[in-house]
C-alpha cells in the first residue's frame, strides 16, 4: 500500500507538462519515476511477479563505477568524470539536508546510467514491464539478505540528465532518512531541488503556467493535494502546485520553513503525522492569498531588470 514519489521532467518520472514521474512498489519495491516524479506502490507476490516476465530481465549497467558523495554511478559507457555535473551533485546531499534541517545519511545510492534512451527503455521494459515510459526512475528495493533496502536510480544520459538526476536523487536522499513522505510533498520537494542551486528553487515554466493560465491565477487547494495517495491521481497542474507550496514554505516567511522542518522531523519516525495545512495556516491565515502573492513576487523578481550603474 505504500506510496513513493515520482519525478516530472518531460519523460523522467514525475507528472508535469514536460516531466512526469511515477513510482511503484513491485514485488516489494518502491519505485519513483523521473519525468517529473511520482510514486505508487504495487506489491504482487513473488509468484505473480514470476508470471509477468517469461525471460530473464536484462542486466543493469554495472561497469565504470564512480563515486560522488553517497552516489555510486554505474554506467554501460565510459563516464567523463570531470564534468561540472558531478561536482554539483557532490554538494546535493548537504544542500537538501541543511535546507530541510534533516540529519545527514551515509546510505549509498546506486545510479545506473545507460548511454542512450533505447538501451534504457529496453532494460526498463524487461525489468519493470508494468511501468509507463519515463526518463528516469527511483527504486527502493529490499535487500535480498538481511534488513534494509537498496536505493537505486535508473536513467540515461540525455539532454535532461541534470534535472533528472537531481530530481530522482532528491527522492532517494529523502527516502534514506524519512519513514515516508506524502505524495504531494515528496513531489514538490523533488521539483524544488531539481533546479540548480543558483535558481533558488524557482521553476520558470511552473511559475508562468501557475500565473498565466487561461482562466487567471491557479486556484490553490492544499487540502486536495493532501488527499492524493496515488501518482495516477496527480495531474501536471497538481505537480506545479506542489512545487509552489514547497517554494512558499522554503522561501516565504521563516515561520513557514519552521513548520515544514518540524513536519519532516515527525516523518523521521512517523509515516503518518497528519495534515500540514492547519499548521501552515497558523503562519498564513489566508493560505491561498499568501501563495498567490508569493508567486506574483517571484515573477516580478524573475523579470526585474538588473541595476545599471555608471
Tens digits of residue pLDDT in 12-21: 444 333 333 4
Question: Residue 192 falls within a domain, yes or no?
Answer: no
Q: Are 21 and 165 in contact (CB under 8 A)?
A: no
163 φ, ψ (degrees, to nearest 5)? -60, -45
| The three cell numbers locating residue 210 | 501557475
| Per-residue confidence (pLDDT) for residue 147, from 0 to 100 | 74
Tell me: do 15 and 119 sit in the same domain. yes
Question: Residue 185 falls within a domain, yes or no?
Answer: no
* pTM of the shown model: 0.82
Tell me: do 155 and 11 sit in the same domain. yes
Tell me: do 159 and 280 sit in the same domain. no
Tell me: do 169 and 71 sit in the same domain. yes
Q: For the chain, how many structural domains are there in total? A: 2
Question: Residue 190 falls within a domain, yes or no?
Answer: no
> Nearest CA to 92 among 115, 118, 117, 111?
111
Tell me: do 154 and 238 sit in the same domain. no
Tell me: do 259 and 116 sit in the same domain. no
| Per-residue confidence (pLDDT) for residue 293, from 0 to 100 | 92
The residues of the chain scoring below 70 in pLDDT are: 1-55, 146, 213-218, 305-310
Q: Residue 96 sits in which domain range? A: 7-177
| Per-residue confidence (pLDDT) for residue 39, from 0 to 100 | 43
Tell me: do 167 and 268 sit in the same domain. no
> Nearest CA to 167 among 246, 224, 232, 226?
246
| Per-residue confidence (pLDDT) for residue 28, from 0 to 100 | 40
Tell me: do 138 and 272 sit in the same domain. no
Q: Which residues are 38's β-sheet partners?
A: 33
| Per-residue confidence (pLDDT) for residue 194, from 0 to 100 | 95
Tell me: do 58 and 126 sit in the same domain. yes
Tell me: do 111 and 37 sit in the same domain. yes
Q: Are 248 and 278 in contact (CB under 8 A)?
A: no
Tell me: do 33 and 155 sit in the same domain. yes
Tell me: do 201 and 173 sit in the same domain. no
Question: Residue 43 falls within a domain, yes or no?
Answer: yes
Q: Are 34 and 168 in contact (CB under 8 A)?
A: yes
Amino acid at each position: 500500500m505504500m506510496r513513493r514519489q515520482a519525478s516530472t521532467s518531460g519523460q523522467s518520472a514525475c507528472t508535469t507538462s514536460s516531466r512526469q514521474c511515477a513510482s511503484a512498489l513491485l514485488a516489494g519495491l518502491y519505485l519513483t519515476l523521473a519525468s517529473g516524479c511520482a510514486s505508487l506502490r504495487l506489491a504482487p507476490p513473488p509468484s505473480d511477479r514470476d508470471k509477468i516476465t517469461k525471460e530473464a530481465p536484462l542486466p543493469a549497467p554495472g561497469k565504470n563505477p564512480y563515486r560522488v558523495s553517497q552516489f555510486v554511478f554505474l554506467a554501460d559507457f565510459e563516464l567523463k568524470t570531470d564534468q561540472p555535473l558531478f561536482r554539483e551533485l557532490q554538494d546535493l546531499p548537504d544542500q537538501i539536508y541543511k535546507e530541510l534541517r534533516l540529519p545527514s545519511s551515509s546510505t549509498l545510492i546506486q545510479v545506473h546510467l545507460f548511454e542512450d534512451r533505447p538501451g534504457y527503455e529496453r532494460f526498463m521494459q524487461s525489468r519493470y514491464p508494468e511501468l509507463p515510459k519515463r526518463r528516469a526512475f527511483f527504486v527502493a528495493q529490499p535487500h535480498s539478505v538481511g534488513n534494509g533496502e537498496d536505493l537505486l536510480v535508473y536513467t540515461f544520459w540525455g539532454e535532461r540528465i541534470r534535472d533528472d538526476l537531481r530530481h530522482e536523487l532528491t527522492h532517494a536522499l529523502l527516502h534514506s532518512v524519512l519513514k515516508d513522505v506524502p505524495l504531494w510533498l515528496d513531489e514538490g520537494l523533488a521539483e524544488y531541488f531539481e533546479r540548480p542551486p543558483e535558481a533558488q528553487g524557482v521553476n520558470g515554466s511552473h511559475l508562468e503556467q501557475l500565473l498565466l493560465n487561461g482562466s487567471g491565477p491557479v486556484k490553490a487547494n492544499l487540502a486536495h493535494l493532501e488527499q492524493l495517495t496515488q501518482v495516477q491521481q496527480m495531474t501536471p497542474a497538481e505537480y506545479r502546485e506542489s512545487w509552489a507550496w514547497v517554494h512558499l514554505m522554503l522561501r516565504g516567511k521563516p515561520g513557514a520553513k519552521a513548520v515544514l522542518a518540524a513536519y519532516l522531523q515527525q516523518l523521521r519516525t512517523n509515516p503518518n503525522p497528519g495534515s500540514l495545512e492547519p499548521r501552515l495556516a497558523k503562519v498564513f491565515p489566508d493560505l491561498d492569498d499568501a501563495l498567490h502573492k508569493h508567486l506574483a513576487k517571484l515573477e516580478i523578481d524573475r523579470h526585474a531588470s538588473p541595476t545599471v550603474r555608471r
